[in-house]
């Protein structure tokens, strides 16, 4: 038995890794997968290893990883309701739809050969013998024949292939598949099945092929699986994946990318419990024949649920411990679903792993935004995951830089809310709003200071540093002219000179020429009322050193 299990596992491995078959099991060998497979290593596939095998100097590189899928029927707990719905107690005769007058079959719970207990829905059938659970017949018609089958794993799982329920003696006229993602606390419908969706559920019938990427998680009612002659009722997982990965599931990268970026998509394929609510048995294509109610009942021979343990991409193995499935966590994570950091790493923030960037994914860097954002987006054509809406004046793929006009306070960690400090470069005194790593703005001529908001010696603040023309000490106006506002000489009356014309910066131009005979008179009243400078006057003594040519020019006049 051990040998045959491992041989089958290897076959599955090949299928599982081949690019054309995709990640999917072949249904024909589905019944034979041993639980052993959960514990065996699998071939080299995408997302099957958690870390680089060759350690680098910086330690191992971590990748996204997930356990291989397996047929979860091997480990499901089955419960049927109401009590007494299973046939055989007391023993009962039943007929078949094909031949309603052949009623030789018997269900007897006390006989191993004639009993049909619930576990026969999940058993491994040997030697071609079909085994099935069966209910009592509809002898209480018109009271409805209702049955619930609850499948429990006590572990969150991600379905990876069609869920297939095989009905012997006809598929139900109507039923609902429900799921829970919180171990049975709350339930939600997964899919409705009826031969007439409108009549049974007030829903218009749909097929999965009607779904588009935008509504792939819509819960639909399908009429495809309710004709009684066939056996399988399917919850179509492949077809839903195919909407992204193509009909043959070749482009799995597209699916993984969608899983990561489309809200609610991964949750749609996640469950901890499933429930079949059987509402009306197969009727054989006609109305209920009251005179032969022994041909109406439910019988299920198999339920295939191909799924993998959900380990938040932190484990490549999942094992049964104390009768409960448990991820074998890597990446310093712990918990049944690797949903927290292991004890030595509790100071770190836990994050799920990510399929992105392809092909190896990351252990937790998918949305690493240094605490300045919790939203990322994936840019497919450059295969980059980037933070969006970085707060606290940060920017960059991981919100690791400061926005234009801000610089990083080197004494704070990158994750601090105040890490980016405003440059506050003076708009008039600076070349740009940008500043250096230490917060120094780049100043225009004449301006100085960290923020470029004060003047160099010999300059006066006039919406930026403007070179002084005169200062009354070193740069003196000639012929009794008076220096006004460091900018111009105001000459006594009857002197020529452009004493009031604009902002010319040359002392030579501004000086007072052609001295007249009479002595100077008081200043022109208009020119004496100029606005006061914002730079202090303490620099005027140095003007001489800074502007020797100007000074020289004024003396030679
Ligand atoms: C089946 O489960 C549903 C939902 O919990 C419940 O309302 C219903 O009564 C159950 N039916 C039977 C037959 O136990
Ligand atoms: C379900 O799983 C949890 C978490 O691992 C465990 O503590 C609990 O005992 C399990 N319950 C059952 C009924 O197995
Ligand atoms: C899903 O969306 C597609 C395209 O937007 C639309 O044609 C289709 O009817 C929708 N299906 C359902 C079930 O709402
Ligand atoms: C940088 O952070 C330190 C520590 O909080 C603080 O003392 C200092 O004032 C900050 N520097 C600036 C420029 O904000
Ligand atoms: C300036 O010149 C005008 C005419 O040339 C003369 O009338 C006036 O007295 C002079 N003013 C002074 C202060 O010399
Ligand atoms: Ca069976």
531 confidence band (pLDDT: 50, 70, 90): very low
Place of tokens 């010319």: 504
Q: What is the pLDDT of residue 26?
A: 36
CATH number at 209 reads: 2.60.120.260
370 confidence band (pLDDT: 50, 70, 90): confident
In the chain, the number of structural domains is 2
CA of 129 to the centre of ligand 6 (A): 8
pLDDT 10s digits, 135-175:
999 999 999 999 999 999 999 999 999 999 999 999 999 99
Q: Which of 490, 508, 542 is the last residue of a domain?
A: 490
In this predicted structure, which of 68-77, 193-202, 312-321, 544-553 has the lowest mean pLDDT? Answer: 544-553
* Cα–Cα distances in angstroms (integers) from residue 243 to residues 223, 250, 254, 365, 378, in the given order: 20, 11, 10, 27, 19
CA of 460 to the centre of ligand 3 (A): 70
Q: Quick check: 378 pLDDT over 90?
A: no
Q: What is the pLDDT of residue 83?
A: 95
482 inside domain: yes
192 inside domain: yes
Co-location of 300 and 444 in the same domain: no
CB 31 within 8 A of CB 57: no
33 inside domain: no
In this predicted structure, which of 200-209, 382-391, 445-454 has the lowest mean pLDDT? Answer: 382-391
Q: What is the pLDDT of residue 508?
A: 54
104 inside domain: yes
Residue 497: both structure tokens together: 């000179």
> Alpha helices, DSSP H only, in 92-207?
197-201
Our measurement of the distance from residue 334's CA atom to the centroid of its chain's CA atoms, rounded to an integer in Å, reads: 21
Q: What is the pLDDT of residue 196?
A: 97
> Alpha helices, DSSP H only, in 430-533?
507-510
pLDDT 10s digits, 406-428:
999 999 999 899 999 999 999 99
CB 171 within 8 A of CB 228: yes
Q: What is the pLDDT of residue 495?
A: 67
458 inside domain: yes
**CA pseudo-torsion sign 535, 540, 545, 549:** positive
CB 107 within 8 A of CB 238: no
Separation of alpha carbons 469 and 492, rounded Å? 18
CA of 221 to the centre of ligand 3 (A): 13
Residue 405 burial (CB < 10 Å; 0-12/13-18/19+)? middle
**Domain of 456, in residue numbers:** 430-490
CB 205 within 8 A of CB 198: yes
CA of 150 to the centre of ligand 1 (A): 10
pLDDT 10s digits, 20-59:
333 333 333 333 343 434 333 333 468 999 988 776 666 6
**Number of the ligand 5 atom closest to the C-alpha atom of 516:** 14
Comparing 26 with 268, which gets the higher pLDDT? 268
362 DSSP β-pair partners: 354
Q: Quick check: 12 pLDDT over 60?
A: no
412 CB near ligand 4 (under 6 Å): yes
* Cα–Cα distances in angstroms (integers) from residue 304 to residues 23, 295, 301, in the given order: 16, 26, 10
> At residue 259, what are phi and psi to the nearest 5 degrees?
-55, -35
Q: What is the pLDDT of residue 483?
A: 83
155 inside domain: yes
> At residue 312, what are phi and psi to the nearest 5 degrees?
55, 30
Q: What is the pLDDT of residue 155?
A: 98
Separation of alpha carbons 116 and 88, rounded Å? 8
Place of tokens 């719970």: 109
pLDDT 10s digits, 190-208:
999 999 999 999 999 999 9
**Number of the ligand 3 atom closest to the C-alpha atom of 206:** 13
**CA pseudo-torsion sign 544, 548, 553, 557:** positive
| Closest protein CA for atom 1 of ligand 4 | 409
324 CB near ligand 2 (under 6 Å): yes
Name the residue of 480, 492, 493, 496 whose CB sits within 8 Å of the most ligand 5 atoms, as the mutation to test its pocket: 493
By three-state DSSP, how is residue 347 classified? coil
> Alpha helices, DSSP H only, in 227-377?
238-245, 252-261, 265-268
In this predicted structure, which of 113-122, 253-262, 400-409 has the lowest mean pLDDT? Answer: 253-262
Separation of alpha carbons 528 and 522, rounded Å? 10
Q: What is the pLDDT of residue 392?
A: 96
Q: Quick check: 385 pLDDT over 60?
A: yes
148 CB near ligand 1 (under 6 Å): yes
Preceding amide of 359 cis, omega within 30: yes
Q: Which of 440, 471, 490 is the last residue of a domain?
A: 490
Residue 544: both structure tokens together: 């001489």
Q: Quick check: 315 pLDDT over 80?
A: yes
Q: What is the pLDDT of residue 357?
A: 81
382 confidence band (pLDDT: 50, 70, 90): confident
Highest-scoring range by mean pLDDT, 290-294, 305-309, 355-359: 305-309
Q: Quick check: 548 pLDDT over 90?
A: no
492 confidence band (pLDDT: 50, 70, 90): confident
321 inside domain: no
Q: What is the pLDDT of residue 519?
A: 46
302 inside domain: yes
Q: What is the pLDDT of residue 271?
A: 98
Q: Quick check: 551 pLDDT over 60?
A: no
Q: Which of 461, 490, 519 is the last residue of a domain?
A: 490
Q: What is the pLDDT of residue 312?
A: 96
218 CB near ligand 3 (under 6 Å): yes
Separation of alpha carbons 535 and 2, rounded Å? 91
Bridge-based pairing state of the strands 221-222 and 188-194: parallel
What percentage of the chain reaches a pLDDT higher than 90?
A: 57
């Amino acid at each position: 038995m051990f040998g045959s299990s491992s041989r089958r596992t290897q076959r599955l491995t090949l299928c599982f890794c081949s690019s054309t078959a995709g990640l999917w099991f072949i249904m024909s060998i589905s019944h034979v997968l041993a639980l052993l497979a959960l514990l065996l290593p699998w071939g080299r596939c995408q997302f099957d290893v958690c870390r680089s095998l060759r350690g680098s100097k910086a330690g191992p590189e971590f990748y996204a990883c997930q356990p291989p899928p397996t047929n979860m029927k091997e480990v499901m707990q089955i419960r049927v309701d109401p009590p007494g719905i299973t046939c055989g107690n007391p023993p009962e005769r039943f007929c078949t739809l094909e031949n309603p007058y052949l009623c030789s079959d018997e269900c007897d719970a006390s006989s191993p050969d004639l009993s049909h207990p619930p576990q026969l829905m999940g058993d491994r059938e040997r030697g071609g013998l079909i085994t099935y659970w069966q209910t009592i017949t509809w002898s209480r018609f018109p009271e409805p024949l209702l049955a619930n089958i609850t499948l429990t794993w006590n572990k969150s799982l991600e379905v990876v292939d069609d869920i297939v329920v095989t009905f012997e003696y006809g598929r139900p006229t109507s039923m609902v598949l429900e799921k829970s993602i919180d171990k049975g606390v709350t339930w939600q419908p997964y899919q409705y099945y009826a031969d007439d969706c409108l009549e049974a559920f007030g829903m218009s019938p749909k097929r999965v092929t009607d779904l588009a990427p935008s509504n792939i998680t819509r819960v639909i009612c399908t009429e495809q699986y309710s004709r009684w002659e066939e056996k399988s009722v399917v919850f179509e997982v492949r077809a839903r994946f195919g909407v992204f990965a193509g009909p043959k599931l070749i482009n799995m990268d597209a699916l993984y990318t969608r899983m990561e970026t489309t809200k609610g998509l991964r949750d749609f394929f996640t469950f901890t419990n499933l429930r079949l609510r059987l509402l009306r048995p197969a009727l054989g294509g006609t109305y209920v024949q009251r005179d032969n109610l022994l041909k109406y009942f439910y019988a299920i021979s198999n339920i295939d649920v191909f799924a993998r343990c959900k380990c938040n991409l932190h484990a490549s193995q999942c094992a049964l411990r104390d009768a409960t499935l448990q991820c074998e966590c890597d990446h310093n994570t712990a918990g049944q679903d690797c949903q927290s950091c292991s004890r030595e790493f509790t100071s770190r923030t836990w994050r799920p792993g990510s399929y992105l960037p392809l092909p190896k994914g990351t252990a937790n860097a998918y949305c690493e935004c240094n605490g300045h954002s919790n939203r990322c987006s994936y840019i497919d054509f450059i295969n980059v995951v980037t933070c969006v809406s970085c707060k606290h004046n940060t920017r960059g793929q991981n919100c690791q830089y400061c926005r234009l006009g801000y610089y990083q306070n080197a004494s704070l960690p990158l994750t601090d809310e105040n890490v980016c400090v405003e440059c506050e470069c003076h708009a008039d005194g600076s070349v740009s709003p940008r500043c250096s790593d230490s917060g120094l703005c780049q100043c225009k001529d004449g301006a100085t200071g960290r923020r470029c908001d004060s003047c160099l010696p010999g300059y006066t603040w006039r919406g930026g540093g403007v070179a002084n023309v005169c200062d009354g000490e070193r740069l003196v106006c000639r012929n009794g002219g008076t220096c006004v506002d460091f900018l111009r000489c105001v000459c006594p009356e009857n002197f020529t000179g452009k004493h009031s014309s604009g902002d010319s910066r040359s002392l030579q131009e501004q000086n007072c020429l052609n001295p007249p005979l009479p002595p100077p008179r008081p200043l022109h009243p208009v020119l004496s009322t100029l606005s006061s400078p914002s730079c202090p006057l303490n620099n005027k003594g140095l003007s001489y050193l800074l502007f020797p040519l100007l000074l020289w020019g004024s003396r030679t006049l």
